[in-house]
Amino acid sequence: MNPSPYSPYAPPQHHQGPYGAGYVVEPYQPLGWKTTATIVCFAASIVLAFVQTGTSIAFGEVLKQPVPENLGLIAMVGLVGLATSVVGIGGYVFFLMWLYQASKNLRSFGQHSLEYTPGWCVGWWFIPIASLWKPFGAMREIWRASDPETVGPRPTHAWHEAPVTSLLPLWWGIYVLNGFVTMAIALSSMDFSADAGVKATVGPASFISNGLHGIAGIVLIMVMRQLATRQTAAAAKLTSAAYEAPPAGPAQPNPYATC
C-alpha cells in the first residue's frame, strides 16, 4: 500500500512551498463540523446542568428513599445525570479536537515562531497548576496567528502584534472563577457527620455554578465561531488569485521547536 503524502505523525518538514523556504507546510482543514459539534454539546450541557440540579433539589427527599414506588423517578433523575455527563464529556472531546486543528491550521497560514504546538494546546489542559493559564495562552496565540492580515511569509512576526478580542479574557476569567466556586460549593455541601461517611447534597447554591458554567460556555461559543470565521478568511486570502505574498526573508525556525 502506498504511503499517504501527509502523515500527522510524521515530523514537520521544511521545504520550498507556496510560502517560500523555511516554512512548515500543513494542510489546511476547515473547523466546520468540529465547531458545530462542540457548540451543540456545549449548549445541551448548559441546559442539562440546570435540569439535573433542579431535579436533584426538587426530588431530593424522594431520592433518599429507594422504595419500589420511587424507582421510576429515581431512574429518570439518573438518566438526566447520565445524559449530562455524556454530553459534557462529548463537548470537551470535540472542543479539544477543534483546538488541535485550529492550532495546526496556523502552520498552513505560514505563521512561525509559535510557542504552542497542536499537541500542547491540548496537553496543557491536563497539567495541574499550569492549566490555570497555559490554555488561555494557547487560545490567545491561535486568535492572533489566525488574523487574515498577518498570514503568509513575512520577515517579521506580524501576528504577534495582532489585537485579541476582549471575549477571550472574559471567557477565561469566568471559567477559572467557576472552578473555584464549584469547589467551594462542593465542600460546603458535604456532611462530614453522616453515619455512612461523607455525603454531599445538591442545594440551590449549585445554580450559581450552573450560571457561571453557562456564561463561560456561551462566551466560548462566540469565540469559537469568530475564530473559525477568521481562519476561513485567512485560508481564502492565501488561495486568492489576487494574493501576492510578501518577501519571505530568511528561513525561519521550526515552530514546533520548544521555545
The residue with greater pLDDT, 217 or 13, is 217
pLDDT at 7 over 80: no
pTM: 0.79
Q: Which amino acid is at 42?
A: F
Q: What is residue 245's three-state secondary structure?
A: coil
Residue 186 pLDDT: 81
C-beta of residue 40 within 8 angstroms of C-beta of residue 107: no
Percentage of the residues of the chain whose pLDDT score is greater than 90? 49
Among 87, 114, 89, residue whose Cα is nearest residue 102: 114
What's the mean pLDDT in 39-57? Answer: 92
Residue 206 pLDDT: 84
pLDDT at 19 over 80: no
Q: Which amino acid is at 103?
A: S
Residue 9 pLDDT: 40
For residue 113, the 8-state DSSP code is S
Rounded Cα gap, residues 89 and 123, in angstroms: 16
Rounded Cα gap, residues 248 and 258, in angstroms: 23
Q: Quick: pLDDT tens for 58-109.
A: 777 766 666 676 777 778 888 988 999 999 999 999 999 999 999 999 988 8
Residue 153 pLDDT: 64
Banded model confidence at residue 165, pLDDT cuts 50, 70, 90: very high
Among 139, 129, 109, 112, residue whose Cα is nearest residue 235: 109
Name the helix (H) or strand (E) containing 22. strand 20-24
Whole-number mean pLDDT of the chain?
Answer: 80
| Count of CB atoms situated within 10 Å of the CB of 199 | 12
- Whose cell is 460546603? That residue is 188
Q: Quick: pLDDT tens for 105-154.
A: 998 888 888 899 999 999 999 999 999 999 999 999 999 999 998 887 66
